[in-house]
Amino acid sequence: MAGTIIVSIIIFGLLIFVHELGHFSVAKWAKIRVLEFAIGFGKVLYAWEKGETRYSLRLFPLGGFCRLLGEDPDDQPLEGNFQEKSLPKKLAVIAAGSVANFLLAIILLVLLFFFILGVPGTNSSRVGSVIPDSPAAVAGIRENDLIVDIDGVKMSDWDSVVRTINGNPGGEITLHIQRGQEDVFVSVVPEETDGKGLIGIAPSYKKYAFFPSVALALDYFFFWIKLIFVGFYQMIMRIIPPEVAGPIGIVSVIGEVMQEGVSNLFSLTAIISINLGIINLFPIPALDGSKLLFLLLEGIRGKPIDPHKEGIIHFIGFTFLILLMIFIAFQDITRLIF
């Protein structure tokens, strides 16, 4: 349990730090004064100052903030004021937190495929692994077998192997396999799954391939973004039950994933980072999305919204988010106990 808590704190800390670092870095680029860079909320546990910025670690490690000069209506109109910058720069600063979370997810996926899992060798028709008790295993196909042809059609890469097998659900096919110096002919009937034929083989994987790792990471990144939005849509349309996990629920999931190995932990962290980036762009008061909305309204109106009115809206939204987090935490505890 202690290990789960420590790993969870590291993951939450990394996600929050990267998010706020995104705001911080772009604010510095835009020459906006960052008054405080904080990790956590509540009582200050440790703080130090460097230059014009105060850095602090706070009691509750479930968030963070970059306090910019000019975000508070009572701030003096000094040099480096957020409100005095151009609209594109202000938009960039606010959006940078989510962008940083997206970049973190991509980096984690690249590291996962580059160092740990490797990338599938799609340019070869060599079998990397065989699922036990699958049609391929029963037929005698082995790891490292090179599929030369299927039903007399030459197989030049893994995609051609997959297409041919997928296209023959329930029909017997004959694989010409090269096993060392030996030529072996194996007959197998692909099982039909969702209209496709499968025999239970996977390609070989190659580690330390940088560009293929980046390409595969981007594929997974956009796949998860699509999946997250599909999930939101299905919950809104009541196609699936609304299930939202808070910090307690996420800690529980992290504990389970830790048992499955570091690769799954990398994947989970990347997925949480993508979720965090997307949710922060929602136009909910107190989140970055609502600040972006106010800035867009400023661009349309030609003048900013009254900062005091905007501050009240963000305060109400922040209060609502705290209450929502308490409710979700209660649900998480209920699920874990019962």
Report the 10 Å Cβ neighbour count for 239.
Answer: 10
pLDDT band for 257, please (50, 70, 90 cuts).
confident
Superfamily for 127-206?
PDZ domain (2.30.42.10)
Q: Where are the domains of the chain?
A: 2-118+219-337, 127-206
Tokens of 101: 């979370």
Rama region for 263: left / alpha / beta (φ>0; ψ in -120 to 50; rest): alpha
Tokens 């867009």 belong to 296
What percentage of the chain exceeds 90 in pLDDT?
Answer: 59
Task: Give the pLDDT confidence score for residue 259 in this predicted structure.
Answer: 79
Task: Flag whether pLDDT at 188 surpasses 80.
Answer: yes
Question: At 16, is the secondary structure helix, strand, or coil?
Answer: helix
pLDDT band for 200, please (50, 70, 90 cuts).
very high
Helix, strand, coil percentages for the chain (3-state, nearest 5)? 55, 20, 25
Residue 201 and residue 206: Cα distance in Å, rounded? Answer: 16
Report the 10 Å Cβ neighbour count for 263.
Answer: 14
pTM above 0.95, yes or no: no
Task: Give the pLDDT confidence score for residue 289 in this predicted structure.
Answer: 92
Yes or no: say if 56 and 46 are a contact pair by the CB < 8 Å rule: yes
Backbone angles phi, psi at 31, to 5 degrees: 60, 45
In the chain, count H helices and then E strands. Answer: 9, 12
Task: Flag whether pLDDT at 327 surpasses 70.
Answer: no
